[in-house]
Amino acid sequence: MARLIPFKDIRDRLKSLDKRKRKYLSTKAILSVRGILPSKFRRKMERRLEKYGPNTGSADGGDRVIRNARISSLVQDMRRLAAEGTD
């Protein structure tokens, strides 16, 4: 029979985590019942999930990838060398 994990254990486990990760996990848990959350609170939690979730927006604010000829040529070299290395 499944046994509930004591709240104390959950709290201790969360406490041992990095603050950002703790916030991420707790927010994710809250949003698991998003259907019953008030819309304002839900939006707040969604913003918080975005903020603390892994791989969030980069510090430079933009994720545009430049693909000009020089960069493409470097990518070709990298791929070729990586392929040679794995052969």
Partner 1 sequence: MHIVIDLQGAQCESRYRGIGRYALSLAVAIAKNRGDHRVTIALNSIFPASIDAIKAEFDGILPPSDIRVWRGIAHVHSRDPNNRWRREAAEQVFETFLTDLAPDVVLVLSLFEGFADDVVTTVPQTSAFSTAVLLHDLIPLIYKESYLTDPLRSEWYYRKLAQLRRADFLLSNSASSAQEAVDHLGYREARIVNVSGAVDTRFHPREISPAERQRIGQAYGITRSFVFSAPGGFDQHKNVGGLIEAWSKLPNAVRSAHQLVLGSRIMPTTERRFSKRCRKLGLRAGEIVFTGYLPDNDLVALYAMAKLCVFPSQHEGFGLPALEAMACGTPTIGGNRSAVPEVLGHPDALFDPMSSASIAAKIGDLLQDSSRLDTLRQHALKQAARFSWDHSATTAIAAMERLGGPRPTTLPVVRPQRLAVVLPDASLRSGAGHRLRAFLPALSRRYLIDLVDASGEIDPNTLQDDISRCDLRTFRARADDYDQILYCLGGGLGSATVADLARKIPGAVLLTDLDPSDRLERTPALEERVELIRYCRGYVDFASTGSDPATVQPGGPLVQDALAEAVAVFAGSEALKAAAAEAGLAGAEGWPVIAFRHQPALGPSMPRETAREQLGLSDDERAIAVCCDPLSSQAAIDGLIRLEDDAQAEGLAPHYLVLASGSSADRSRLARTIANAGGLAADRVTVLSPAHAQSFAAVCAAADCAVASGGAVEAGESGLVLDLADAGLAVVLLSDHAPAGSISAALAGTAQPSSRLEPSPTLDAPSDDRSLPPALADALDRAYGTRQHHRLRRDAVAKIAALGPPPVHDPKHLEAVKDDWFKAAQSVALSLPPRNAPRQLLVDVSELLQRDARTGVQRVTRSVLREWLEHPPAGFQVQPVYATPDQNYRYATRFTLNFLGYGIVDVPDSEVDFSPGDIFCFLDLQHHVALSHRDYFQLLRSHGVRVHYVVHDLLPILLEGIFPQSMKALHEDWLAAVAESDGAFCVSRAVANELADWIRDAGLVDRHPFHIGWFHHGADFSGLQAWTGLPADANAVLGALAERPTFLMVGTIEPRKGHAQTLDAFEALWARGIDVNLAIVGKKGWLVDDLVKRMERHPERGKRLFWLSGVSDEYLERIYDTSVCLLAASRGEGFGLPLIESAHYKLPILARDLPVFREVAGDHASFFTASDGKELAVAVENWLQLYRKGEHPRSDAMPYLTWSETAARLARAVINDEYLIELKI
Q: How far is the CB of 52 from partner 1 (least distance, A)?
A: 10
Q: Does 50 bind partner 1 (CB under 8 A)?
A: no
Residue 36 DSSP code: G
Q: How far is the CB of 51 from partner 1 (least distance, A)?
A: 11
Can you read off the two tokens belonging to residue 15?
A: 């406490």
Burial category of 27 from C-beta neighbours within 10 Å (exposed 0-12, middle 13-18, buried 19 and up): buried
Touching partner 1, residues 10-39 (CB under 8 A): 15-18, 20-21
Report the first-to-last Cα separation within the chain, whole angstroms: 51
Chain residues in the site for partner 1 (CB under 8 A) = 15-18, 20-21, 54-55, 58-72, 74-75, 77-82, 85-86
